[in-house]
Structure 1
Amino acid sequence: MCRWLAYWGSPIRLTDVLYTPVHSLIDQSLHSKLGAETTNGDGFGIGWYDEGTDAPGVFRSTEPAWNDTNLRELSAHTTSPLFFAHIRAAIGSSVQQTNCHPFRHGRWLWMHNGFIDGLTDIKRDLAFAVDPALYLNIGGTTDTELMFYLALTFGLEDDPPSAVARTIGLVETLGREHGHQSPFQGTIATSDGETLWAFRYSSVGQTRSLYFNRSVPQLRDLFPDRAARLESVADDARLVVSEPVGDLPGAWIEVPEATYGVVGKGREELLPFAPQAAA
């Protein structure tokens, strides 16, 4: 599997999130504790939003994240209020730049940790369900990118939870028609540059891990001995992660099964999630 991280809040240097904390995402590329694999070295990607641009920037590479000097250099000089980072452990698809997350279309970013069981049996049917006007934008061979364009087809830009529900519903319907009783497993993050949505769901209710941080004011109250370190962190800083970073016990809250979270200006909530069965 893979590991990923999404940040929303006051602008922050990427390196302060990706490299600085104990057990950072870059450290997890070699020493993951909760992933299906300890090493996530089949490439990486970052996607970030900044002012004055119509679309987020994306940097992806097949190099291991722990060994890429360009990533270290870029993250030390990039500040963003909303960004994605993903380290990859490939399952079934080749190690190539077009298969690295996050994926981008217009203002939207998308990344995923998980898999579609029996993808080879249903990939053709899934591909035919993608809007032909969108299909030509698919550059890689992953289930993640295919799901992204299915979600766009099903109205991601208007109603992300409904689009993701329809996408996973189609995966489950087709998978079970081909004898796969547990077709989907995964966590998904997507954003339009203003709001962040994060989903946790699997067909058998045993989804890959997903966490979000307690509010920064709460953390300052819980850990007064770390107040100096936390003072530089903005009150509105929110991280959603596959695996906790840092060394503060109790700083992270697990996202429940079959749940999605929404973070945006004036909005922060957890809501139940269920796929919408395909007709």
Structure 2
Amino acid sequence: MCRHLAYLGPEEPLGRLLLEPPHSLYRQSWAPRRQRYGTVNADGFGVGWYAPDDPVPARYRRAGPIWADTSLTDLARVVRSGAVLAAVRDATSCDPDPEAAAAPYTGDRWLFSHNGAVKGWPDSMGGLAGSLPPVELLSLESRCDSALVWALLLNRLRAGMEDGKALADTVLEVASAAPGSRLNLLVTDGQTITATAWGDTLWYLTGPGGRVVVASEPYDDDPHWQEVADRTLLSATRTDVLLTPLKDPRDDMAPVPSEESRT
């Protein structure tokens, strides 16, 4: 599907996070080790980062594979940040503007990425799309499923909902409308990282100096990487990581065993 990564901590050159590790996001674009769906993430990439004293993130995206971008090496060598979100994409559907469909998406102070796919797209999401203000639908960056999921989440964030609740409510809403969807979502505001494991892999690594990385898969063989269980919400700051189970909406629809079947 896709691979993505978010980082909080001391300022680092982008290349040290995205290019240099032995199993970096760069390498995961053609040789992921833990990807469950798809094999090559060559349908675009993007990186977003925060500069000191500026709450609005910068962003660099391209439609092609990350390994084909001749400008990225120089950019990643000189740009430093203490808050980063990046992704490489394996598209599940065609898009008239593949660069616009590449994560990260932005809105106000947030960066967002979606690793997965909405089942039954676009028919399954018609009802949820209708719940958004018309101007937000008309402002979608892309016509892909990730863009609509982001619009649903951003609508909650702009209404003042706390990041973790907004992310959890969005995942549960989409999962209810489109059962079987894979919804590994990742969002940061430069101060926190919030993510869901819902149908694909998610890992995190903490380190000294208030360093935390949340990623689809480990970018090296450090034994301190921790796997996040499926159906889990992760909320991280530079000092803490909190994991909260999420309940699949389908559990509420499961038939109750009869007295006969219990005996």
Category of TM-score, reference length = shorter chain: 0.7 to 0.9
Name 1:196's counterpart in structure 2.
193
Partner residue, 1:142: 144
Corresponding residue for residue 25 of structure 1: 25
Task: Output the CA distance in 1 between the equivalents of 2:104 and 2:124.
Answer: 23
Q: Look up the match of 1:244.
A: 218
Cα distance in structure 1, aligned partners of 2:175 and 2:186: 19
Letter aligned with residue 212 of structure 1: Y
- In structure 2, the partner of 1:158 is 161
Tell me the TM-score normalized by structure 2: 0.87
> Once the two structures are superposed, what CA deviation does each residue of 1:165-192 show, in whole Å capped at 9, x if it has no partner?
33223323333xxxxxx33212111112
Once the two structures are superposed, the pairs formed by residues 186-225 of structure 1 within 5 Å of their partners are 186-201=183-198, 207-213=199-205, 215-216=206-207
Structure 2 counterpart of 1:268: 241
1:79 matched to 2:52? The reply is no
Structure 1 alignment gaps of length 5 or more = 176-181, 202-206, 217-233
Q: Counterpart of 2:204 in 1: which secondary structure? A: strand
Match of residue 112 from structure 2: 110
Following superposition, the deviation at residue 133 of structure 1 comes to 4.0
Report the Cα distance in structure 1 between the residues aligned to 2:26 and 2:136, rounded to whole angstroms: 33
Q: Which residue, out of 125, 128, 135, partners 1:126?
A: 128
- In the alignment, structure 1 residue 42 sits paired with structure 2 residue 23: no
Tell me the CA shift for residue 193 of structure 1. 1.8
Amino acid at match of 2:232: T
Partner amino acid, structure 2, of 1:209: T
CA RMSD of aligned residues (A): 2.0
User: Counterpart of 1:34 in structure 2: which amino acid?
Assistant: R
In the TM superposition, what is the alpha-carbon distance from 1:265 to its structure 2 partner? 4.6
Q: Which moved more, 1:149-158 or 1:33-42?
A: 149-158
Q: Report if the CA contact (8 A) 1:164-1:275 is conserved.
A: no
Unmatched segments (≥5 aa) in structure 2: 251-263
What is aligned with 2:226?
A: 253
The one-letter code of the counterpart of 1:163 is A
CA deviations 1:135-158 (Å, max 9, x no partner) are 332120121111111112234653
1:34-65 deviation line (CA, Å, top 9, x unaligned): 22222110010001111132410011101210
Q: Could you tell me which amino acid in structure 2 is paired with residue 2 of structure 1?
A: C
Deviation (angstroms), 1:7: 0.6
Matched to 1:26, the amino acid is Y
Give distance in 2, aligned partners of 1:29 and 1:266: 30
**1:160 positional shift:** 2.0
TM-score, structure 1 normalization: 0.82
Question: For residue 174 of structure 1, what is the aligned residue in structure 2?
Answer: 177
Once residues 90 and 198 of structure 1 are traced to their aligned partners in structure 2, the CA distance between those partners, rounded to angstroms, is: 20
